[in-house]
Amino acid sequence: MTEELDWMTRANLKAKGKRPDFLGDPEEEKMLSMLMAVIGEVSVLRERLDTIERLLEDKGTISRADIEAYEPDREAGQERGELIREYIARVMRGPHQALQALEEFEPPIQDVVEDLQTS
C-alpha cells in the first residue's frame, strides 16, 4: 500500500543549502522569491486558460479530463511560447532596466552642472 504524498507539506519544506543572495538583503530576497512563485503560477494559469479556450473553440464543451489530456500542437506551442516570452519581458522590465542602468553609468546631474560651470 502506497502512502499519498502531502504536496502542501513538501512545498513548504526548507530547501537544503544556502539560499541564493542576489540582492544583498534577506527581506528583498524573500520578496523576489514570492514574486517569482506568483509569476510561475500566473504563467501556468495562462496556459490552462489557453487550453480551455482552444478546447471550447474546437468542441463547444469540455470536461476536466479534456483539459488534463490536452496537448498543444506545434502552432499552439509556438503561440504559447511567444506569449510567455512577452509576459516575462513585461514582468522583468523593471529589473532589466535597473541592470542596464548599472551598466550605463551616467554621472550625477550635479557633477554635470559643475563641469558645465567650470568649462
Averaged pLDDT of the chain: 87
**Is position 7 within any domain?**
no
Which is nearest to 38 in space by CA: 27, 50, 46? 46
At residue 29, does pLDDT exceed 70?
yes
Give whole-number Cα distances, 63 to 18, 53, 55, 88, 99, in Å.
43, 12, 9, 30, 45
- Please give the C-alpha separations between residue 36 and each of 3, 29, 42, 102, in angstroms, as whole numbers: 31, 10, 10, 22
Residue 75 placed within a domain:
yes
pLDDT tens column, 72-115: 999 999 999 999 999 999 998 988 888 787 777 777 888 888 88
| Domain that residue 83 falls in | 24-104
Angle between the N-to-C axes of helices 26-59 and 74-91, in degrees from 0 to 180, rounded to the nearest 10: 150
- How many angstroms separate the CA atoms of 2 and 109, rounded? 67
At residue 2, the pLDDT reads 60
* 117 within domain boundaries: no
Please compute the mean of the pLDDT values over residues 33-61 and round it to a whole number.
Answer: 94
Query: How many structural domains is the chain composed of?
Result: 1
Share of the chain above pLDDT 70, in %: 97
